[in-house]
Structure 1
Amino acid sequence: MRAYAIGDIHGHLDKLEAAHALIAEDRARCGDDDAPVVHIGDLVDRGPDCKGVIQYLIDGQARGENWVVLKGNHDRMMEMFLRKHPMVDTQLLIDHNWLHPRIGGIDTLASYGVEVPEGIRTYQLHPKARAAVPERHRDYLANLPSSYRLGDLYFAHAGIRPGVPLDQQAEDDLCWIRKEFHQSNVDHGPLIVHGHTPVDEVTHYGNRLNIDTGAGHGKAISAVVIEGRDAWLLGAGGREKVVQEKPLFPV
C-alpha cells in the first residue's frame, strides 16, 4: 500500500506546488495514479499566501484529486477566531491568542487584505476579518478531519496520545500533543505520520514518522512517499530512503 504525504505548509503556496510536482513525478515513475496525498495540517500562519494555500486545496479536491487535508493547530486557531463569536483555543498559553506575534494569524489576515494595527481590540478586528475571509474558506477549515487511517498508517497533525485507542483520540491531542507522544517508544499499531514539531529532516522513529521540516520558520516543505512502513523523501533526483533513526521499540 502506497501513500504520499506533505508536511506543514504555513502559507507557502509556492513550496506546496513544488511538493505536488515532486509527487507527480514519482507517480509517473511508478505508474500509480490512485495513492492518496495526505496534507498533515497547518495550512496557514507565518507564510505569505495563506489564502492561496486554502484556495489551492479547495480547488484540487473539487476537481477530484485524491487529496486528504488534515486539521492542524494553526488551522483550528484560525477557524475558532473567525466563528460568529470568536474563541481562543484552550490549548494556547494563557497570554496567547491567534493574533500573538509568535502564532502568525496577523500574516494570515494580511493575505486576505486585512491589516492588524497594533493595539486593535478583538471586537474591532473580528468583523473585518470575518468579512474578508470567504465563508467557503471558513467552512472548509471547520470541516477538516483531524485524522486519517489507511491500512497500517495513521495520519494526524501532532500525533496521538499513547494508550488511547485510535478511534477514541481527542482532537486536542491530534492537533496539539508533543511531549507524551514524542517520548513514547511503544507500538501504536499503525505507523503514526505527523508534523507539528519541526525537525531538520524527515525522521523515522520506528513507531512514528515526523514530516514537518520547518516551513513555518522559512525552511522546506517535505513530500514523502510511504510504502508499508518504509518512507522515502522526494527530491529533484527522485527518492531518498528515510533511514529509521533507532531500533523499533528498544528494550
Structure 2
Amino acid sequence: MFSRLFSKTKPLPSARTPEETVVWAVGDIHGRSDLSAPLIDAIRADLVASAASRKVIVFLGDHVDRGPDSRGVLDQLVEVGSDTRLEVHCLRGNHEERLEAFLDEPDLGPSWCDYGGREALMSYGVVPPVMKGDADGWVAASVALGEALPDSHRRLLRSQAYCVSIGDYFFAHAGARPGVPLEAQSPEDLMWIRQAFLDHPAPFEQVVVHGHTPSETVVWDGRRIGVDTGAYATNVLSAVRLEGETRTALQAAGRGERVTLSTSALAG
C-alpha cells in the first residue's frame, strides 16, 4: 500500500544519491511523538520493502523541546536506531545542545525553558521552578533531569553528529555558512545559522538538507531542501525521500486524535 503512494513521483534533475541507496530525512520533531510515530512507521515500511542495499534515515535535529513528549521521541529514535537493517543518523540540533548544556549549567534553565525546555523537562517528570531567579530550584531541576534521563537517551544525545554527507546531499540541522567548504563548517553554524544561509543565492558543492527554520511546506530550490514545517505548532511533521534523482515529501498531519499521511513530489 505504501509503495503506491510513490507511484506518481517524477524524478528531478541534478543532485542524486549513490547507487542502491535510499535516504529519508526527517524534519524537526520537537516532542511531537504522536506525529513521529506514524511517520517513522511509514518510513521503515518503505525502506524494508525497498530493493536498495543501503537504507538510511537522517533525523535532522531538534527532536526535543516545545512539544509535549520529548522523552517519547527519544525512545522512538533509540528504537529505530537499533534496527540493524537500517543506517540511522540522529543529528544534533540547537535544542539538544541546550538540553545537554542544562545538565552541566543549571543557570541556563530559564533561557532554555523560554524556548521549549519546560515541556522537555515535564516529559521526564521534572517540574521546573516557577521563578526564573530560583537558583537552587534550577540546580535541583538539573539534577532531577540527569537522574531521569535513561542511559539510552544519554548515549543517543552524546553520539549525535553535526552533519552527514551522502552522495550529492549534505545533511545538517540548520544549514551551512556560505563561503566555507562544507567539510569545514563549524558546529555552531551547523546548529544555529539562519538568514546568512537562507538568503545567500549561490549553491554549495552539495545540496544542503536541513531543518531549523520552519516553513509552510518542504522547500526545494535547487540548492537546499528545508524539511522543518513547525510540527509543534502546525501539527504537520515532514520528511523527504531521496533516491537517485527523485525527491518526494512525506507529511504526517494531525487533526484531533487522527494523523493522516500524504506525499508529494518536490518541484522547484
What's 1:115 paired with? 127
- In 2, distance between residues paired with 1:150 and 1:87? 38
| 1:238–1:34 CA distance, 2 compared to 1 (3 A) | farther
Q: Does 1:202 align with 2:191?
A: no
What's 2:256 paired with? none
| Deviations 1:28-48 (CA, angstroms, capped at 9, x unpaired) | 665346320111110100112
What's 2:14 paired with? none
Post-superposition offset of 1:228: 4.2
- In 1, distance between residues paired with 2:148 and 2:246? 43
- In 2, distance between residues paired with 1:28 and 1:123? 45
Amino acid at match of 1:61: G
- In 2, distance between residues paired with 1:179 and 1:238? 29
| 1:20–1:180 CA distance, 2 compared to 1 (3 A) | same
Residue aligned with 2:125, SS: coil
Q: Which has the higher strand share?
A: 2
| Deviations 1:164-187 (CA, angstroms, capped at 9, x unpaired) | 111111110000000100011112
Q: Does 1:15 align with 2:35?
A: yes
- In 2, distance between residues paired with 1:81 and 1:227? 39
- Identity between Structure 1 and Structure 2 (%): 35
What's 2:67 paired with? 47
| 1:229–1:173 CA distance, 2 compared to 1 (3 A) | farther
Residue aligned with 1:5, SS: strand
Q: Tell me, which stretches of 5 or more residues in structure 1 are unaligned? A: 90-95, 245-251
| Deviations 1:113-157 (CA, angstroms, capped at 9, x unpaired) | 111131143223222222222344234213210101001000000
What's 1:190 paired with? 206
- In 1, distance between residues paired with 2:25 and 2:113? 29
Which residues of 2 match residues 154-169 of structure 1 at below 5 A? 154-169=170-185
Q: Does 1:214 align with 2:230?
A: yes
| Deviations 1:46-91 (CA, angstroms, capped at 9, x unpaired) | 11211111122112212423211101111111011113x44749xx
**How many residues are aligned here?**
235
Measured on the aligned residues, the alpha-carbon RMSD in Å equals 2.2
Amino acid at match of 1:70: L
| 1:237–1:48 CA distance, 2 compared to 1 (3 A) | closer
| Deviations 1:72-113 (CA, angstroms, capped at 9, x unpaired) | 111111011113x44749xxxxxx62122xx11110011111
- In 1, distance between residues paired with 2:51 and 2:262? 14
Residue aligned with 2:31, SS: coil
- Calculate the TM-score normalised by the size of structure 2: 0.80
Residue aligned with 1:167, SS: helix
Q: Tell me, which stretches of 5 or more residues in structure 2 are unaligned? A: 1-16, 252-259
What's 1:248 paired with? none
| 1:160–1:229 CA distance, 2 compared to 1 (3 A) | farther
1:36 to 35, 53, 56: 56
8 Å CA contact 2:107, 2:139 repeated in 1: no
8 Å CA contact 1:22, 1:223 repeated in 2: no
| 1:137–1:26 CA distance, 2 compared to 1 (3 A) | closer
8 Å CA contact 2:182, 2:205 repeated in 1: no
Which residues of 2 match residues 94-133 of structure 1 at below 5 A? 97-100=111-114, 103-119=115-131, 120-121=134-135, 122-133=138-149
- In 1, distance between residues paired with 2:228 and 2:194? 13
Residue aligned with 2:177, SS: coil
2:102 to 62, 75, 81: 81
